[in-house]
Structure 1
């Protein structure tokens, strides 16, 4: 892979990782509700889970959707339903240190598994493989692309968690935090629009 292509891919990986989407909205809310330290497994699960998804797409899983479009449609509906469920859970989160039910942060495995039903993650993975992976030494390039994506993705999504933890001190009143969580739930649902608007 040429240096020019590698730099172009790094920019693609950064932009797609740091822009708003389901993962980043959930990490912002996690940073507010649980802090950075308790959200680290969630961040690592996103990056490692996504890396595995990129490798799977590179090894042919993405072609399944080209040959059998109903599978992709089913994935989009499943992902949308799960995101709506997560938005509902975020909206119902209580204040830290209150007696209200507020759940717990995503575990590493939950975050990794979520990548498989996250429509934005599939679009990013397919874009990375089809646009930035040279056919020459394809397997090596797939592994390189996946690993580089994970390295760029983790600190990028981590910015959202840190931003959430910084907001925490301004959201110390239960009513304000409840309004914030409701807003994050609405934004999570809104993040579905560009991905699912052609249903």
Structure 2
């Protein structure tokens, strides 16, 4: 089996909108790419870590304990809805006192993100033939997801930065923040379907 189907799967998973992309866009719009880089690194690194964990066998353990899946979904959904509310009501940036989330926040957001778990579990199940055992699969999934997520989230963060540069009035910020908050909330709905 060739690695190309895995790379296409990972790229589509990383570039398509979800909670992490909305967070990267919002941070880029509000703080710019360079100030958002630690958050982006945490989000991307978190997906790489999750790929490693799932590839090493943790995914199998999670699937065998359905209540753990429910808890992960509920906690992740509650946090994402709280974050959506904060983004929607953020208003325009105010001077230099506000700070973007850091690397640890990005890592934690990814580890509780049900979409991230779903795509890494799907990859582990679908592409396990590419590796000789759990360690090889962990390395393959970790590097694939981590590298592609860093690239994709950097793209979305830069797109957010460019959007933020064009917003001049309070009303424009209200609309953009409202839309980003609604998109993040909508990603929670999709988690439960």
**Which residue matches 1:167?**
163
**Which residue matches 2:118?**
123
Query: For 1:191, which of 182, 187, 192 is the aligned residue?
Result: 187
Structure 2 gaps of 5+ residues are none
- 2-structure distance, mates of 1:83, 1:68: 23
- 2-structure distance, mates of 1:117, 1:103: 24
**Which residue matches 1:69?**
66
Mapped contact 2:91–2:170 kept (Cα < 8 A): yes
Q: Which runs of 4+ in 1 moved over 4 A?
A: none
**Which residue matches 2:4?**
7
SS, match of residue 33 in structure 2: helix
Query: For 2:35, which of 24, 33, 38 is the aligned residue?
Result: 38
- 1-structure distance, mates of 2:66, 2:162: 43
- 1-structure distance, mates of 2:192, 2:99: 28
Structure 1 gaps of 5+ residues are none
**How big is the alpha-carbon RMSD for the aligned residues of Structure 1 and Structure 2?**
1.7
**Which residue matches 2:48?**
51
- 2-structure distance, mates of 1:92, 1:9: 38
- 1-structure distance, mates of 2:47, 2:131: 23
- Post-superposition Cα deviations, 1:18-69, rounded to whole Å, max 9, x if no partner, equal 0000000111111110101111111110111111111111222212222210
SS, match of residue 92 in structure 2: coil
TM-score under structure 1 length normalisation: 0.90
TM-score under structure 2 length normalisation: 0.93
Across the two proteins, how many residue pairs are aligned to each other?
192
Stretch deviating more after TM superposition (187-196 or 9-18): 187-196
- 2-structure distance, mates of 1:113, 1:41: 13
